[in-house]
């Protein structure tokens, strides 16, 4: 009888300490940079050979924050909390740039000013982070440098015996700040790590709100010259355009997640426990004094038989 009593007590204690955990993913995709025109202006400001670049840049950001939703017995009842998953969160950035190169020529009787070359370039980068980026805790700032790409590589004639040689390398960098204002459920909202709210378990929806501050910096470096056969080469200069950054702030609304936790309740002679579905002979919650007494009486009755 005492062995049975010890077993029932052990089962009840183990069940009370178990947490009901559900995995979730908070995801969103937003426009990080609306299409923006960025003009370098003419370089040099005056001279026989000048160049100018005009970029049309746009970009998108995707954010994924995996986590765990936990319903468990707290010090004063059943509580709900959320924690980041073992897998890292991730921010991805896609940048699309249409680049135009202009040339202005006024030398040795030749005059020309127009678009010399057009090119489109796409960049995709991502970076991991390890939390929910709560705004109350400073959010998460990420620096995402992108591979330098030769966007202009020109060696062509624009008039008989007039050749233009221009090279240009584009180096973009994205800096983003992710701020999560709140992760909200039917039971309450979380605005910082290590928070918990009271609950009875059961199904709930989960949403998250926040903002994205995004800055796109672009640098174009290269060389330009114009050569006229039998006369001379003109220009022959290097250029370095640190273009005005593209900045934008975007609200974040994450896709709604539906979670289904076990329903929690109160046992007649013990604390709140999870209600298990289906048929089972094993205890599903803490064993109170009345339950233990009934078990002992049943065992004593069997031994008499």
| 107 SS3 class | strand
Residue burial 117-132, b: 16+ Cβ < 10 Å; e: rest: bebebebebebebebb
Q: Does residue 30 lie within any of the structural domains?
A: yes
Is the model's pLDDT at 215 over the cut of 90? yes
Q: Does residue 139 lie within any of the structural domains?
A: yes
pLDDT grade, residue 263 (50/70/90)? Answer: confident
pLDDT of residue 292: 46
**Over the chain, what is the mean pLDDT?**
86
Is the model's pLDDT at 235 over the cut of 50? yes
pLDDT of residue 297: 54
Calculate the alpha carbon distances from 1 to 4, 5, 280, 302 in Å. 5, 6, 22, 11
**Straight-line distance from the first to the last Cα atom of the chain, in angstroms, rounded to the nearest whole number:** 15
pLDDT grade, residue 18 (50/70/90)? Answer: confident
Q: Which domain holds residue 65?
A: 21-275
pLDDT in tens, 152-184: 999 999 999 999 999 999 999 999 999 999 999
Q: Taking residues 67-75, report their average pLDDT.
A: 95
Is the model's pLDDT at 7 over the cut of 60? no
Complete DSSP assignment for 174-236: EEEEEEEEEEEETTEEE-STT--EE--EEEEEEEEEEEEEEEEEEEEEEEEEEEETTTEEEEE
Q: Does residue 10 lie within any of the structural domains?
A: no
Hey, how many other C-beta atoms are within 10 angstroms of the C-beta on 233?
A: 12
pLDDT of residue 303: 53
Q: Taking residues 120-135, report their average pLDDT.
A: 97
Q: Show Cβ contacts of residue 27 under 8 Å, excluding neighbours closer than 6 positions.
A: 62, 63, 64, 65, 254, 255
Q: Does residue 303 lie within any of the structural domains?
A: no
Question: How is residue 56 written in tokens?
Answer: 């049309």
Please give the tally of structural domains in the chain.
1
pLDDT in tens, 196-212: 999 999 999 999 999 99
- Percentage with pLDDT > 70 across the chain: 81
Q: Does residue 2 lie within any of the structural domains?
A: no
Q: Does residue 292 lie within any of the structural domains?
A: no
Is the model's pLDDT at 12 over the cut of 90? no
């Amino acid at each position: 009888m005492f062995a049975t009593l010890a077993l029932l007590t052990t089962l009840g204690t183990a069940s009370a300490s178990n947490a009901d955990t559900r995995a979730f993913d908070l995801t969103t995709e937003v426009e990080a940079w609306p299409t923006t025109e960025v003009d370098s202006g003419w370089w040099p400001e005056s001279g026989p050979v000048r160049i100018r670049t005009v970029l049309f840049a746009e970009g998108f950001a995707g954010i994924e924050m995996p986590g765990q939703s936990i319903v468990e017995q707290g010090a004063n009842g059943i509580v709900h909390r959320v924690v980041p998953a073992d897998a890292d969160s991730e921010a991805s950035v896609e940048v699309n740039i249409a680049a135009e190169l202009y040339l202005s020529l006024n030398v040795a009787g030749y005059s020309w000013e127009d678009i010399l070359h057009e090119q489109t370039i796409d960049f995709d980068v991502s970076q991991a982070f390890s939390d929910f980026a709560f705004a109350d805790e400073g959010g998460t700032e990420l620096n995402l440098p992108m591979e330098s790409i030769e966007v202009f590589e020109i060696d062509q004639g624009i008039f008989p015996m007039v050749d233009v040689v221009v090279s240009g390398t584009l180096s973009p960098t994205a800096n983003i700040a992710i701020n999560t204002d709140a992760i909200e459920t039917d039971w309450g909202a979380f605005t910082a790590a290590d928070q918990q709210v009271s609950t009875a378990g059961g199904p709930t929806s989960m949403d998250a709100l926040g903002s994205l501050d995004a800055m796109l910096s672009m640098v174009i470096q290269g060389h330009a010259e114009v050569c006229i056969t039998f006369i001379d080469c003109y220009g022959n200069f290097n250029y370095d355009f640190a273009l005005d950054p593209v900045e934008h702030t975007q609200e974040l609304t994450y896709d709604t997640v539906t979670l289904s936790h076990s329903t929690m309740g109160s046992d007649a002679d013990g604390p709140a426990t999870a209600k298990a579905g289906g048929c089972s002979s094993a205890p599903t919650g803490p064993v109170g004094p009345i339950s233990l007494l009934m078990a002992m009486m049943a065992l004593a009755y069997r031994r008499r038989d």
